[in-house]
A = this chain, B = another copy of it.
Amino acid sequence: MSQPTNFTPGPSQLYFTVEDHMRTAFREGIPSLSHRTKKFEGIYKDAVDGLRELLNLPAGYSIYFTGSANEIWERIIQNLVAEQSFHLVNGSFSKRFYEIAQLLNKKPIKAEVDFGKGFDDTAIVPAGTELIGITHNETSSGVCLPLEYIYALREKNPDALLAVDAVSSLPFPDFDYTKLDTVFFSVQKGFGLPAGLGVWMVNEKCIAKADQLLSKGISIGSFHGIPSLHSHAIKNQTPETPNVLFIYLLGKVVQDFIRRGIQNIRRETEYKSTLLYQALEKHSGVKAFVQDKKFQSKTVIVAQCGDQTEKITASLKEKGLHPGDGYGAFKKSQLRFANFPTHSKEQYELLVDTLERL
């Protein structure tokens, strides 16, 4: 049997070109390359320029690298909030963003709906809110918020910064970045890379806000504060010794995505998600956990399997198809299926075919 397919939503299946890129990296001495060299600056620039092209990022956006998306939650709160942030909470990760603001001694406020739900009416953002934190795609529950919902929040609250967690959706969503202020992801999900690198994109309003906090004497962190990240980024550099190897791999995979065509990737993602949701709809025992179609994630699809969970997992694994467990309390009653660029149409067809026979 060929290698199993990993449908866990992160770390997920590697993008199929990564092992080759790793071999090339060793041949070229990338793993021991000093970051204070022209060669590293070229690697940095390739990754950043590639992301700009792939995501159609407007001028004025800067891209920084961190150790994880967890770190970006922290840096966003430190750098962009003096006192009050507002969080739309509808699952474990959006809740964690809110909790991190508490741990940093800010005064976050939340609007919360049940796990597995989205938001219908535009949330009422409290006065004094400096930043709205929103999770585009809840990896825990498979709820994805419509882009129009997110844009409406920005339009109604032009004075607050809008921070979008796109950890498990990018590169799929075709964001209009002019309607957002900061967006972030980690590379072990849609980009199919090993875990250990967060990617943080900020616009000029974010840079100005961090400067403003600093001028008020508020600590915005140290080496990974925006001013420090930014003064290095404009020279294709990093404040600390970075994960040179993973930045190199990211640049390579982004080039692979560009060659494949972002529109093709998006179309295939749509196709594969439609296949799986249709199969869940027709299935007698298994259902989509998110029933409201407008909130159904196309990149993390959650199946409500109840007491069949263990049996279904075993049957899928027999075919080399490894689903992700349900999150937290749903570990034994749900399964999660990542639908990332690395997951081929053929793998999804086999997955659906196998599910239909159960």
* Chain A residues engaging chain B, CB cutoff 8 angstroms: 3, 6, 8, 10-14, 18-19, 22, 26, 29, 31-36, 66-71, 73-74, 77, 99-100, 103-105, 186, 188, 193-197, 217, 219, 221-225, 239-246, 324-325
Contacts and interface: CB of A to CB of B under 8 A. Distances in A.
Q: Copy number in this complex?
A: 2
Contact of A70 (B74, B103, B219, B240): B240
Contacts of A219: 103-105
A35 B195 contact: yes
Contact of A71 (B10, B103, B197, B223): B223
Contacts of A241: 10-11, 68-70, 186, 188, 195
Contacts of A99: 222
Secondary structure type dominating chain A contacts: loop
A358 B185 CA distance: 52
A246 B196 contact: yes
A71 to B, nearest CB: 7
A270 to B, nearest CB: 24
Contacts of A34: 8, 10-11, 324
A5 to B, nearest CB: 10
A320 to B, nearest CB: 12
Most chain B CB within a 10 A radius of its CB, from A18, A77, A194 = A194
A128 to B, nearest CB: 20
Given A67-B66, A223-B74, A244 B11 contact: yes
A246 B34 CA distance: 18
A210 B29 CA distance: 40
B222 A103 contact: yes
A194 B244 contact: yes
A198 to B, nearest CB: 9
29 contacts: A3-B29, A11-B32, A13-B32, A18-B31, A22-B22, A22-B26, A34-B324, A36-B325, A67-B67, A67-B240, A68-B240, A68-B241, A70-B223, A70-B239, A70-B240, A70-B241, A73-B223, A103-B219, A103-B221, A186-B241, A194-B245, A195-B244, A195-B245, A196-B196, A196-B197, A196-B244, A196-B245, A196-B246, A243-B243
Contacts of A6: 29, 32
